[in-house]
Structures are given as C-alpha cells and as structure tokens.
Chains A and B, each alone.
Chain A
C-alpha cells in the first residue's frame, strides 16, 4: 500500500470519532467518513508527500458543512438524533456535553472539537477552517463560553455565584 493510503488508513479511527461528535449519529458519521475517503482517494495523484491528516479533516469538515446546509433547507427533516445517548450508563454526564455541543454554531463547534478531541494545533485548525489563527481562538472562546453557560444552566445547583 502506498504511503498516501497508509496515512489515510491510519486516520480513519480519528475521522470516525470526529464525525461522530459532529453529527451525533453513527450512520451519518460513517457516511461522511466514507465520502471523505472517496474524495481523498480521488485526489491521490495530487499527493506529493506531507501530512494527509489535516487535509482529511478539512474535507470532512466541508462535507459536514454541506450536509448541514442541506438540512437547514429542509428543517422539517432535521431529526434530533443521538444514537449514543441511548446507551446511557457511564456516559450519563456525556449527554449533557453532546447537547451543549449541539447548541453551538458550526464553526465554533468544529474548532473546539478539532482542538480538544482531535488534538490539532491552532495552526492546523486555522488551515482546516481557512481562517487566521485569531479567528480560531475567538471561535474556541465562544464555544467554551456557550458550553459553560449551557452546562451551568442545565445544573443550576452548581452555578457559581459571582
């Protein structure tokens, strides 16, 4: 297998994780990952070495954005899914964070997930999102502020009184 394909294959578990967090639905997530892989393979001839990973995240992020746009044109068909939530158990606190992420706009959510879940550097996220690093940081800040507000609101007992 070529170096290119080895790199792609190694990235699949992480891409699935990222897609799952973005879509909150296992099937939809794997659909997006599959599309990402197909697109990547189609561009194999353009590959001249280097890190494939950030590029794969870029494709996936763009595909997800397209998906959200399609959904927003048909709001009636937008189901609120969280197939993982049904498993409950040790993830009982996780459902809160999933809903909190869902409340975010797409760009801050993407930025946050790329940093905290996928471990991308700010610079890499800036490349994926095609914006300056400063914008990445303000998206991160916005995401974190909104999640905090959401989680605090969900659990009023824990709200910190200033």
Chain B
C-alpha cells in the first residue's frame, strides 16, 4: 500500500485544514477527500468555522490599542514601583485610564506603603459616595466644629477641615470610614454646579511628601503626607482644577498652628 492509498486519519484531516500536514501527505489527503464525501464535508465545515471565528474577532487586532495597554506606560509604572501585581479583578476598577498608579490590593509582592493603600481606599470612597444623592455624608457641613471634634477623636490626631469656599467649594459634610491603618476622615465638597470633590485623611507613618498626582479615566486625585496625616483629594479628572483645589487645601493644612479647621 502506497501513501496515496493509505487510510487518512481524522488527525490528518485536522492537520490538513490547519496547514500542519507533512508535505508528503497533502496530495494523499486531497485524493482521499474526493472519494470520501463525509470527510470532505467535515473539512468544509471546519474551514467555515475558522472563517466565522476570524470574521467575528479578527478585526479586534486592527483596533487602536488603548492607552492603558501601552508598554511604555506600563513599564514606567513598574519602574516607579506602582504596580506590584495586577489582578484583573482590581484592574476592572474605575481607574482604567492612564492611571499613574494602580495596583491590586492584597496581592502586592512587597507590602505597599500606607500611601498606596490610602489612595486606593480614597478613590474607592470617592466613587462610592460621589453618586450618593440623599446621604453623601454622616454629619452635614454646617456642623463643622462638631465634625472636626468627632473625626479628630476617631482618627486619633487633630484633623483640619480646609475652608475652600473662596475657590467655590462648599463643605457638604463628612463621615468616618475604615482605612488601611485605622479610622479615616472623609469630607465632601461641592461646587455650585454640583461637581463633587472629596478629601480623605488618616494617620500614617509615611514621610511627608509634596503634592502628587494620580490620574484615572473618570476620577483623579492629588495626595500628600503632612505631619502624621495622609491626605487624598479626589475629583473629576481635570488635573488643573484639581490641582488648584489640592494646593489650597495643602496650603491651609500646612499652615496649621491650631487643630481647629478654618
């Protein structure tokens, strides 16, 4: 029995369709198909499946690559220690855009500093409460002295609530949140047009820092450490405006001689 006459196996039919057949077997398979209509039909069906799959998904490769998959960006973040381990679950999160820093909570290789855990929590809290219409805060902004006293006590160190009316931000109020290192104060401000900004602060042992920026698609934040407190000012992703607000808050907090908020 020559090659040409020998039985063609199903594996060979698949290999034929996928271009994996040894060159010597090709004509044998083709000859076989002319006399075995069931096998010829199967081969045609498999080819048509492949065409359907290619038609369905082939175009994805021609789509522009989103920024968040840029190697330069990912490498930069890695070099700067921002991404410890990415996990799909955590990355589904809101900061999907060109985040300057994102990392999966709880899966970090090296323990993240308070800094990173705080920014994660602060951005989460922003996202959670910014959409809240009826109960965005526990204590309203017109009870500022009470709010200051209560949250200072719970956070364990004097907390200042920046006065931002001069730049168009009214204090909606505040609430207590669980933070990575203990109780955390969370304040919400609102512009006349209803745009909301939040300030998150809690105790940290991290070193003092200047303002740092972290950008996402729908929200972004400035964060810093001053004294024994960590601050994250979060708002809609417009860096210039956010920076002005963060700077105002930073200046007030930095100038604190008294624990009572302005």
Q: Is the interface of A mostly helix, strand, loop or mixed?
A: helix
Are A141 and B71 neighbours in the complex by a CB distance under 8 Å?
no
Set of chain B residues within 8 Å of A5, measured between Cβ atoms: 71, 75
Contact residues, A69-87 vs B (CB, 8 A): 70, 84
Are B53 and A16 neighbours in the complex by a CB distance under 8 Å?
no
How many residue pairs link A and B with beta carbons under 8 A? The number is: 120
CA–CA, A41 and B83, complex, Å: 11
* Any B CB within 8 A of the CB of A31: yes
Are B86 and A35 neighbours in the complex by a CB distance under 8 Å?
yes
Cβ distance B116 to chain A, nearest Cβ, rounded Å: 15
* Any A CB within 8 A of the CB of B92: yes
Are B91 and A97 neighbours in the complex by a CB distance under 8 Å?
no
Q: Which residue of chain A is the closest to B68 with respect to CB atoms? A: A34
* Any A CB within 8 A of the CB of B124: no
* Any A CB within 8 A of the CB of B6: no
Are A8 and B49 neighbours in the complex by a CB distance under 8 Å?
no
Contact residues, A89-142 vs B (CB, 8 A): 91, 93-94, 96-98, 100-101, 112-113, 115-117, 121-122, 137, 140-141
Which one of B10, B58, B78 lies within 8 Å of A17 (CB-CB)?
Answer: B58
Known A33-B69, A37-B71; judge A116-B49 contact (CB<8 A): yes
Number of interface residues of A (CB under 8 A): 52
Known A41-B75, A42-B78; judge A16-B65 contact (CB<8 A): yes
CA–CA, A28 and B10, complex, Å: 36
Q: Which residue of chain B is the closest to A8 with respect to CB atoms? A: B71
Are A28 and B11 neighbours in the complex by a CB distance under 8 Å?
no
Q: Is the interface of B mostly helix, strand, loop or mixed?
A: helix
Known A20-B60, A35-B87, A113-B53; judge A12-B69 contact (CB<8 A): yes
- On B, residues with C-beta under 8 Å from A are 10-11, 14-15, 18, 20, 38, 41-42, 45-46, 49-50, 52-58, 60-63, 65-66, 68-69, 71-72, 74-75, 78, 83, 85-89, 91-92, 96
Extra pairs beyond A16-B69, A112-B53 (20, CB < 8 Å):
A12-B65, A12-B69, A13-B61, A13-B62, A13-B63, A14-B61, A17-B61, A21-B56, A28-B88, A35-B88, A41-B75, A93-B52, A97-B49, A97-B56, A100-B49, A116-B49, A121-B20, A122-B20, A140-B14, A160-B41
- On A, residues with C-beta under 8 Å from B are 1, 5, 8-9, 12-14, 16-17, 20-21, 27-28, 30-35, 37-39, 41-42, 63, 67, 70, 84, 91, 93-94, 96-98, 100-101, 112-113, 115-117, 121-122, 137, 140-141, 144, 147-148, 151, 160, 162
